[in-house]
Amino acid sequence: MSHIGKPVLAMLSWTLSRVLMAVLWSRQETFIDHDVRYYYWQLVHQGMVDGLVEYPTPVAVLLQLVRLTSGDTELGFRIAFVLVMGLIDGAVAVWLWTSYSRAAAVYWSTFTFLIGALIWFRIDLLPAVAVLAGLIWVNRRPIASGVSIAFGAATKFWPAMLIVPMLGPGLAARRRTIGFAVAGGTLGIASLVFFGWDRSTSPLTWQADRGLQIESIVATVPMLRHAVGQPDLYRTELSSHNAWEIYGPQVDFWLRVADVAMLGTVLLALLLGWLIALNGFGLPGRRSLRTAEDADPLRRTHAIVLAQLAIICAFIIANKTFSPQYVIWLGGPLTVLVALPLTGKSRTDARWLGGMGLAIALLTHLVFPLNYAGLVAANSTVTDTILLVGRNLLMVVFTVVASVLAIRAAIATGRPQLAVAAT
């Protein structure tokens, strides 16, 4: 195919995929704009200090700007919000195709297509793109990479953990650290100065007070029992946290499991940081904190990408909430991973992870919004619940595989003679 033909075909394919997303939304998924309506009314009735307390203040500021520049009406806000997200969606696809990797552009476009129009109606596209950019720039523009991760943390707090495996004594690592610290520090100080301590930390409090959301991994057993075991003992309700939660026997136990699992996520991030950023200092043969980052950037990039994927996965499965838009977060690491010039087993593993990621995206779309009514009904539909259970089980398997591969790749970064293909 000619040099002109491929870009044209890619553009037509992307456009067709977005048209299909829009058509499906218009026919079966129009209710997914609820969150966008919620953003608007929170800003109108609660203001910047008391509204949207579950989100970091930089996001509230961005949403306020959208509201003020869109005519300050709910309809105008919804249209402007979707247009902004749609433009970001298209801009990322073009950027990947023209400036990074065509394979990455195809994967990102396919992954987001499978998730559906939800990507245009949630703010989670912002941290996902921030992480994607941070990984693409990890060696090319390390300062910008750190800034990008800081921006992701300013939209949702969780990306702050992703900087851990990107640190270290190497030149590129130091620049990433500087970028993250300066950008994150500036945003953090601005939030404290203009909005105060309580508003700046409110997302953490909000998350701590949440119940067991029906889609979360730790709610899988209660949801299954609600559908096929002892349905009369459980109920689902829309909680004050704007999420459908399940109540009944052993729910408190599963909430404690989530707390322990979240601690495990933090420990995983620290382990990967120690192995990658600190070169596994203390292990046999690791007598130096110096890294081989500058000498072998591909191997270290491979380890960092896998580490970020594993941390994101662990955070999702440990969370008391698994909103469908969280799956968007996986897009950044997976897109970069499938585009890396790997060979041998590493290449095969990347393809398997990429394929599993696409399956998770599709299953999540089938769960929400297409079959969500069966989950929130007084008597949960068995088939819809089985679909949710299948998605959750696949997510657990995916997390285990990603974590094992990440740890192996992280250990290999301290072995100068090993090739990427052997990780």
Confidence at residue 420, expressed as pLDDT on a 0 to 100 scale: 41
Can you spell out the DSSP letters for 53-86? TTS-HHHHHHHHHHHHTTTSSHHHHHHHHHHHHH
Rg from Cα positions in the chain: 21
Q: What is the pLDDT of residues 307-363, one digit of tens each?
A: 999 999 999 999 999 999 999 999 999 999 999 999 999 999 999 999 999 999 999
What pLDDT shows up at residue 294? Answer: 54
Q: What is the helix, strand, coil percentage profile of the chain, to 5?
A: 75, 5, 20
Reading the chain (423 residues) residue by residue, the pLDDT tens digits are 556 667 888 899 999 999 999 999 999 999 999 999 999 999 999 998 899 999 999 999 999 999 999 998 999 999 999 999 999 999 999 999 999 999 999 999 999 999 999 999 999 999 999 999 999 999 999 999 999 999 999 999 889 999 999 998 888 999 999 999 999 999 999 999 999 999 999 998 888 889 999 999 999 999 999 998 887 899 999 998 889 999 999 999 999 999 999 999 999 999 999 999 988 887 877 666 655 455 678 899 999 999 999 999 999 999 999 999 999 999 999 999 999 999 999 999 999 999 999 999 999 999 999 999 999 887 778 999 999 999 999 999 999 999 999 999 999 886 654 444 433
User: Is the distance from CB of 150 to CB of 183 less than 8 angstroms?
Assistant: yes
CA distance 363 to 359: 6
Residue 376, judged by CB atoms within 10 A of its CB (0-12, 13-18, 19+), counts as middle
pLDDT recorded at residue 417: 46
Neighbours of 90 (CB within 10 A): 15
Phi-psi region of 393 (alpha: psi -120 to 50; beta: other; left: phi over 0): alpha
Bridge partners for 235 per DSSP: 247
